[in-house]
Every structure is written in structure tokens, then in C-alpha cells.
């Protein structure tokens, strides 16, 4: 097991931290809820912000950046919920 981790690290692949995994799951769930809400109420901004919340953790490599973008997208969903 240790040898396999060392081999992956030699190729530049590192395992995500528990904080990253928790954040990815949390923001994906919030994104799904926002998507369903936007679809049900015909709020296009909220629907597409929900899609962005579900998908952006796949392209953001740093934990702190993932939380920063996630909070910003959640704030945008909150702002556009009644518009």
C-alpha cells in the first residue's frame, strides 16, 4: 500500500484531504438543491448556479479555493433566489 502511494506521488498525484472531500460533497448537495429549486420555480440563474456548484469541485485543486468559490456561488444563489 505504501509503495502504491509513493508511486502515485512520484507521478504528481496526491490524495484529497478529508476537508476537500467533505466540501465537495457539501457543495454538490447544495448545488443539487439549488438546481431543483431553480428548475421548479423557473429561475434560470439559480438553476445554472446549482449546476456550477455541483461541477466546480472537479476542476478546483486547492481546498481553500474550493471553499472560497463554493461560498461565493452559494451567496449568488441566495441573491438570485427571488429575482
**pLDDT recorded at residue 56:** 95
C-alpha cell at 62: 486547492
Residue in this structure with the C-alpha cell 448545488, named with its chain if needed: 31
| Residue range 14-65, pLDDT digits in tens | 888 999 999 999 999 999 999 999 999 999 999 999 999 999 999 998 999 9
pLDDT of 40: 95
Instruction: Tell me the DSSP string of 7-61.
Output: HHHHTT--PPPHHHHHHHHHHHHHHHHHHHHHHHHT-HHHHHHHHHHHHGGGT--
**Alpha-carbon torsion 61, 66, 69, 70, what sign?**
positive
Cell of 37: 429549486
Q: Would you state the pLDDT for residue 5?
A: 79
Instruction: Look at residue 6 in the predicted model and tell me its pLDDT.
Output: 82
Amino acid at each position: 500500500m505504501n509503495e502504491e502511494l509513493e508511486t502515485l506521488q512520484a507521478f504528481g498525484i496526491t490524495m484529497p484531504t478529508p476537508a476537500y472531500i467533505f466540501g465537495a460533497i457539501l457543495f454538490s448537495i447544495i448545488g443539487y438543491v439549488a438546481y431543483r429549486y431553480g428548475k421548479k420555480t423557473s429561475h434560470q440563474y439559480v438553476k445554472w448556479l446549482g449546476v456550477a456548484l455541483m461541477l466546480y469541485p472537479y476542476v478546483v485543486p486547492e481546498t481553500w479555493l474550493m471553499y472560497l468559490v463554493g461560498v461565493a456561488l452559494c451567496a449568488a444563489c441566495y441573491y438570485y433566489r427571488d429575482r
